[in-house]
């Protein structure tokens, strides 16, 4: 704990806080909501199993070959850099145990482990080179690592260069739905990025109070209104799943509508948009009567297979691929989307 080291650590901490403030300013502008969100998020953390992040997260993210090289590299590097390797191993074990017992199933929770494991894998590579002089064996290992990392990365880059299904859906709406058209989405995140009308934003703002938190939200709504100048907007509703209650946690999360023929008609809804990231569109047999006034007019599929609608990943909720078989089954990112339009003969 030399003074010069303390100064360096303090300087790095200050730069980190400043960078965080620049990229996430509302953390400090709306501190109460930030604290509340962190607390609420902590309620969703739980034990995910001893091997989940090892096999699902790291196994699919890095590949089995790199993980094996990492394990080998630990013993190889420990003979040469004992102290540094032990610190690295302690971090990995400590971090993994925390996220094994207090985490969620998503692979992103173990991203900080990747650089450390990559260093160990490099040690494993050096060990393999020392033990194996065969050009063929080295080539096989090189190809195995490339297939596990480079090939999926390049194909993922290809997918990111394509239009997301949500973007295509929004473009379709731009072409077919007039300004102000009432559209009901089953999910704002997994649906097309459409903008609400200024009147809807103003109505949401009028419902706010005078607390510091509400004043911050009002400011954000004003900025939102300015950003809509020259843009096409729609009267947007959020469809409630069967048994779901309204949740006004976010200012612009509503208004809400059930999948009910009468209420959809009263609201003047002309279009419905369903996503297949969540299972509920496939379990709407009893509620399909509400669609009798609507017809399916367009679909947007991210898959090569015409019969696929849902992800193969049991933990995939971001409409982007993680498992290799899910990655290579796609031609673009995004969820499978369906657009329903009110039948021309139906009265709105």
Q: Are 252 and 196 in contact (CB under 8 A)?
A: yes
Ramachandran region, residue 35 (left: φ > 0; alpha: ψ -120 to 50; beta: rest): alpha
Rounded average pLDDT per 10-residue block, the chain, 348 residues: 82 93 87 84 88 93 92 93 91 95 90 95 93 91 90 94 96 96 91 93 86 82 90 93 71 84 92 83 60 90 92 80 92 94 72
Q: CA torsion angle for 247, 236, 194, 24 (degrees, to 10)?
A: -30
Long-range contacts of 106-115 (CB under 8 A, 24+ apart): 106/57, 106/315, 106/317, 107/53, 107/56, 107/57, 107/58, 107/60, 107/61, 107/315, 107/322, 109/53, 109/57, 110/53, 110/57, 110/58, 110/61, 113/58, 114/61, 114/62
Closest CA relative to residue 97, chosen from 86, 121, 113, 116: 113
Region of 313 (left: φ > 0; alpha: ψ -120 to 50; beta: rest) is beta
Q: Which residues contact 38 (CB under 8 A, 6 or more apart)?
A: none
pLDDT at position 348 is 45
Contacts (Cβ under 8 Å, ≥6 apart) of 93? none
Check residue 1 and give its pLDDT.
63
Q: Which of 124, 86, 103 is nearest to 49 (CA)?
A: 103
27 vs 39: CA distance, rounded Å = 14
pLDDT at 57: 93
């Amino acid at each position: 704990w030399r003074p010069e080291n303390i100064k360096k650590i303090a300087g790095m901490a200050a730069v980190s806080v400043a960078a965080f403030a620049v990229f996430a300013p509302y953390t400090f502008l709306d501190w109460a909501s930030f604290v509340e969100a962190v607390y609420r998020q902590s309620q969703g953390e739980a034990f995910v199993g001893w091997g989940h992040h090892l096999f699902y997260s790291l196994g699919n993210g890095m590949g089995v070959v790199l993980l094996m090289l990492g394990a080998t590299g630990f013993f190889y590097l420990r003979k040469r850099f004992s102290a540094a390797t032990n610190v690295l191993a302690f971090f990995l074990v400590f971090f993994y145990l925390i996220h094994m017992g207090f985490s969620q199933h998503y692979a992103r929770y173990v991203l900080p482990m990747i650089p450390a494991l990559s260093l160990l894998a490099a040690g494993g590579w050096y060990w393999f080179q020392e033990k194996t002089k065969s050009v063929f064996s080295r080539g096989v290992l090189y190809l195995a690592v490339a297939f596990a990392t480079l090939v999926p990365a390049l194909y993922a880059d290809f997918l990111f260069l394509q239009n997301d299904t949500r973007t295509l859906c929004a473009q379709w709406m731009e072409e077919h739905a007039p300004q102000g058209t009432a559209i009901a989405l089953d999910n704002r995140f997994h649906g097309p990025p459409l903008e609400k009308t200024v009147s809807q934003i103003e109505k949401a703002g009028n419902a706010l109070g005078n607390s510091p938190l509400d004043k911050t939200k009002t400011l954000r709504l004003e900025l939102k209104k300015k950003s809509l100048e020259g843009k096409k907007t729609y009267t947007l509703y959020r469809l409630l799943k069967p048994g779901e209650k309204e949740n006004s946690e976010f200012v612009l999360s509503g208004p809400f509508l059930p999948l009910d023929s009468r209420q959809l008609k009263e609201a003047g809804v002309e279009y419905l948009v369903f996503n297949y990231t969540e299972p509920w569109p496939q379990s709407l047999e009893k509620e399909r009567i509400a669609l009798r006034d609507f017809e399916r007019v367009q679909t947007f599929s991210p898959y090569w297979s015409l019969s696929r609608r849902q992800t193969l990943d049991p933990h995939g909720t971001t409409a982007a691929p993680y498992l290799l078989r899910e990655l290579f089954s796609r031609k673009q990112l995004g969820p499978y989307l369906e657009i329903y339009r009110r039948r021309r003969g139906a009265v709105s």
